[in-house]
Structure 1
Amino acid sequence: MTTTLITGANKGLGYETARQLIAAGHQVWIGARDPERGRTAADGLGGRFLPLDITDDDSVAAAAATVGELDVLVNNAGISGGLAAPIDVTADLMRTVYEPNVFGVVRVTRAFLPLLQQSAHPVIVNVTSGLGSMTLATDPTSIASRYQMLAYSSAKAALNMLTVQYAKAFPAIRINCVDPGFTATDFNGHRGVQTVEEGAEIIVRMAQLTSDGPTGTWLDRAGAVPW
């Protein structure tokens, strides 16, 4: 059975991804900071709750020791940081957004790499956003060019580069980033135009890659996303 860990899986896209992967036969660890919400989600889905604060070294180390073995890691947890205008974005706000969205991914990936390297078909899926695309941000025909989310967009651009660098460093692991699209969740006040089922589709698809699948790519439901 494929063992999968999803960070931030107690609600939204993480929860739906867990639901679909459990239905596909995965044993899924529900990573969550809040014990009550995490256990409730795990019990409701038939998954296993894993206490996990991706901003805390000790929490991540304890989680890696608890899991023991892993085939798929979905780095889903993150925050938006709000809609502050660029002139109001401070270094402290940048750090707040980068801590889970960038440093947290590094922290979790590094901790679980030894387990993934023991898997016959290891996979890492990094959940990013089209707002992190430099191509789309500079294309006046793209909706992404209309947003000025300095902290969030730059953090997702950094996550995209992390994905590429990890893919080059660990060619035996399928490491990709995915854009779920503008999905209605708590993350955006349910303003998204997609359902969580639609948003989770590309995450679930890439979490089920075999060893001959792509690596170092960025995809959404429609195909390749420009960097």
Structure 2
Amino acid sequence: MTTTLVTGANKSLGLETARRLIAAGHTVHAGMRDLANAGPAQDLGAIPVQLDVTDSDSVDKAVASLPDLDVLVNNAAVVGPSWGLDDLDVDAMRIAFETNVFGIVRLTQAALPLLRRSTNPVIVNVASGLGFPRAMLDPDDDSFSGLMVPYASSKAAVIALTVQYAKNLPGMRINASDPGYTATDLNAHQGHQTVTEGTDATVALALLGPDGPTGEFHNRHGRLAY
């Protein structure tokens, strides 16, 4: 049985990722900041875990509660309080990076001892086309009109972080996914994709075998060239 931890799994993309991986036969531990919101994940058959990726004690306790770990899906993310430049300051950047980047590092580092014991360790970091320069500069791409400075910058860091983790841990499959413009709370449900479409890349990467790719960035249609 494959044991999987999904962060931000109480709703939206995280909840749908949990649902699909349970359907694929995984035992899913659904990480969430507030267990009062655990109902939807429990209804799917997931095991709720109190997990705030910005809190080291919470991360350590969550990881200690796992019997083992094969797949880590770093899905939790925030937009932050600033979208453009008029209200941009260092604190706004710090809030976005604390969850979206430092949270990934905090949890991944804590989870590495368990992942190293797995016969098929996999990490999926949910990034965004908003952090991919080629997409941000393409007028035909959904990401072109996104002016969310802290969020976009943090997701660019997630992509770079993924590549570096993959290079440093060649025995693991470590990739980043782009959900695309999906209807979620982060965009007031304005996205044109469903959460199922938005989790296609994440789920496919979570299901990789030992011979799968690593250090790559995928959307629902496949690999995106850097």
**Band the TM-score falls in, shorter-chain normalisation:** over 0.9
Matched residue, 1:27: 27
User: Who is 1:135 aligned against?
Assistant: 134
CA RMSD of superposed structures (Å): 1.2
1:97 aligns with 2:96: yes
Match of 2:7 in 1: 7
2:191 paired with 1:186: no
TM-score, length of structure 2 as denominator length: 0.96
1:91 & 1:120 partners in 2: Cα distance?
Answer: 41
Structure-to-structure mapping, 1:61-210, within 5 angstroms: 61-82=60-81, 84-210=83-209
Report the residue type matching 1:97 in the other structure: A
> 1:72-93 deviations in whole A, cap 9, x for unaligned?
0000000112553223211001
Identity rate, percent: 53
The normalised TM-score by structure 1 is 0.96
Q: Give the secondary-structure state (helix, strand or coil) at the position aligned to 2:79.
A: coil
CA distance in 1, matches of 2:45, 2:144: 41
Q: Is the 8 A contact 2:82 2:150 kept in 1?
A: no
Unaligned stretches of 5+ in structure 2? Answer: none
How far is 1:29 from its partner?
A: 0.0
Q: Displacement, 1:212?
A: 0.2
Moved more, 128-137 or 211-220: 128-137
Residue type at the aligned position of 1:170: L
Which is worse superposed, 166-175 or 183-192? Answer: 183-192
1:143 Cα shift? 3.4
Equivalent pairs counted in the alignment come to: 226
**Cα deviations by residue, 1:99-156 (Å, 9 ceiling, x for unpaired):** 0000000000000011001000000000010000112223344332322211000000
SS in 2 for 1:116: helix
Alignment check: 8 A CA contact 1:136 1:226 kept: no
Structure 2 Cα separation of the partners of residues 74 and 179 of structure 1 = 13
**Matched residue, 1:36:** 36
